[in-house]
A and B are shown apart, each in its own frame.
Chain A
Amino acid sequence: MSPVAVNPLPDHTVAVALFAVVVLVTLAITVWVGRRSSAAEDFYAGGRDFSPLQNGFALCGDYLSAASFLGVTGLIALYGYDGVLYSIGFLVAWLVVLMLVSELVRNTGRYTLADVLALRMRQRPVRAAAGTASLVVTLMYLIAQMVGAGSLVALLLGTDSGRAKGWTIVAVGALMIVYVTVGGMRATTWIQIVKAFLLVAGSVVLTVLVLLRFHGDLGELMRTAAARSGVGDAYLQPGLKYGAGTVSRLDFVSLGLALVLGTAGLPHILSRFYTVPTARAARRSTIWAIGLVGCFYLMAIVLGLGAGAVVGARAVRAANPAGNTAVPLLALDLGGGPGTSGGVLLFAVISAIAFATILAVVAGLTLASSAAFAHDLYARAWRRSDEREVTERQEVVAARIAAVVIGALAVVLSLYAQRLNVAFLVGLAFAVAASANLPTLLYNLFWRRFTTRGAVWSVYGGLVPAVLLVIFSPVVSGAKTSVVQGVDFHWFPLENPGLVSIPLGFLAGWLGTVLSRESADPDRYAELEVRSLTGAGAA
């Protein structure tokens, strides 16, 4: 049986101590680097003077959530090949970011996604639309991370009480508010860098230990994992998780589409490109991120298979049905097993890294959502042109207040959303980002005739269907795992709306443009195009 369920005490004192160290170190970073930020450029963009290598690590830190470190490895441990799809989708998505988005967004925006639109469109409607969509995406992602944090910390500490989970969510929320309000983007970025370094280092250590255990023979690793999975060869073949019927297969395609197109629309990833001085630096940081993320996911495959082979699928499932503790259990075994000091120590270190991962990601998300609120909605979209402009100082104050309010809101929503599946929420956030943010961004950068109406329609035309389709999907009602039990109002068969809502976002953008009364302003497109490719006049 797993040590997590049976004998929690000795393992967890070390883990608790290391969790405390993580909290103290991140708070120290926040206080240390956060003092200087009172200007908007500091608060939203960290002064724009990070190097490509630093920002590459920070991008990696923002991107690799606990869903990747624990969730994807757990899925691979339990479902073998079908878990690998997540890692591939999450990685290939970076090519969209690299080629179509990072440099152009760096050159044409200042702090947020809506800046890029406002450069050529009428400011207030596009900021209202893009700001709202960014808030929705970050809030969903935030809830996913916090619900995950609650169950994860409870699991790692060996309790299963609702109260422990609730307090974890509150504590994580309080910490992320402190990081963001006190430290702004500078502190958030350094926290990401430290976290990404720890995450990659921890993965390397575990990967090396797994390879040593199997004498470097990957084929032996795969065969052992398959043999201990209880399903034999099917473990190494597609279809173990997503193979039952046409609906399940369409759901798989929908998820695959959302994963590959969603990353380039995530507000907290886009805002990272403003922390480096030039578009060239943005490109180089993306290349670093692709290298790090790619190596991480290759290691994640080894770790997932390693957990299947060393711990065994049955023990993994017994500790957590979704497989979320596969990697900590693997660490326990590789360190020498339960009861040995090596095992306990490695288990505690890996758990603390997972905890740092969650803290860093929620900080990045809170910052991005407060920027969307203060910079896009409060200071611009909600101002009539005859009103006095909001000063930079007022805007940053509003952003700090927004971080507190959004953080508190995320805590409350997470407390009520604890029954939602974490991987589903992340997939949904990606689907909404791909439906609402990506079409308008791409049209704006590449389509000469795109108009303000097209931009607004494209955002709402992706956002509204994505959210509605989820409400009427089996996720919310009509299935055994639904949020609402006892009633059944679902009519949309898929769990992930991407397959329908992403094309709708593109379609709405095209329709809005074709049906516009005004035509696109060629002067402004000239400005956008020249800026985007040369960097002239870039912030």
Chain B
Amino acid sequence: MAQQQKVFDPWAADRPPAAAAEPRAGVYREVQAGAAFQAIRSGYRGFVLPATAVFLAWYLLFVVAQAFAPNLMRRQVAGPLNVAWVLGLGQFASTFLLTWLYARNARTKRDRAALDLRWDTQDQLR
């Protein structure tokens, strides 16, 4: 069954015993250890992990400040806007900005390499 399909179906059932899985696992281990994949992986994690830490911290700071520092949040900034509104609209702005930065990072840093590695890996698996 697995041989007939273009790509082995890993969800079909519980995995077959070692004999059938061995060469596939070898391919994936080899690709994982290769420089091309390591570059993609560090490009991805290098952007995503710090970015997630930043936006989660920034969001939680906003929520906690609202709950426990209401006087600070009430301070007027300009016209009817106070600190709370400025920070809230800042959340919108930072979300749009991070989305754009992430898209740019993915497009320029890893899309092409990932696609090349995909065909490469699938050729080896065949």
Contacts and interface: CB of A to CB of B under 8 A. Distances in A.
Interface of A: 81, 84-85, 88-89, 91-92, 94-96, 98-100, 103, 110, 115, 118-119, 122-124, 219, 222-223, 226, 236-239, 242-243, 249-250, 252-253, 256-257, 260, 280, 283-284, 287, 290-291, 294, 297-298, 385, 389, 522-524, 526-527, 529-531, 533-537
Interface in B1-24: 7-8, 10-14, 21, 24
B40 A110 contact: no
B25 A219 contact: no
A343 B80 CA distance: 30
Contact of A95 (B13, B84, B99): B99
B99 to A, nearest CB: 5
B88 A88 contact: yes
A130 to B, nearest CB: 13
A533 B114 contact: yes
A534 B92 contact: no
Contacts of A81: 84-85, 88
A92 B25 contact: no
Contacts of B11: 110, 115, 118-119
B99 A533 contact: no
B92 A219 contact: no
Nearest to B43: A533
A297 B111 CA distance: 31
Interface residues on B, range: 35 or more
Contact of B114 (A242, A287, A535): A535
Contacts, number: 162
Contacts of B62: 88
A523 B117 contact: no
A104 B43 CA distance: 15
A91 B73 contact: no
Given A219-B79, A389-B13, A536-B121, A530 B99 contact: no
Contact of A96 (B28, B52, B68, B92): B52
Given A81-B85, A298-B92, 15 more contacts: A89-B63, A91-B92, A94-B95, A95-B55, A123-B13, A257-B63, A280-B111, A385-B13, A385-B14, A527-B10, A527-B28, A533-B37, A533-B114, A534-B115, A535-B118
Nearest to A122: B14
B114 A526 contact: no
Contacts of A115: 11
Nearest to A82: B66
Given A84-B88, A243-B70, A533 B44 contact: yes
Given A95-B99, A290-B99, A526 B118 contact: no
Nearest to A284: B103
Given A222-B80, A526-B28, A529-B41, A253 B67 contact: yes
Contacts of A92: 55, 59, 91, 95
A125 B84 CA distance: 46
Contacts of B114: 533-535
Nearest to B99: A290
A533 to B, nearest CB: 5
A226 B91 contact: no
Interface in B46-74: 48, 51-52, 55-56, 59-60, 62-64, 66-68, 70, 73-74
A74 to B, nearest CB: 18
A283 B80 contact: no
A253 B24 contact: no
B44 A537 contact: no
A95 B52 contact: yes
Contact of B122 (A523, A524, A537): A537
A253 B64 contact: yes
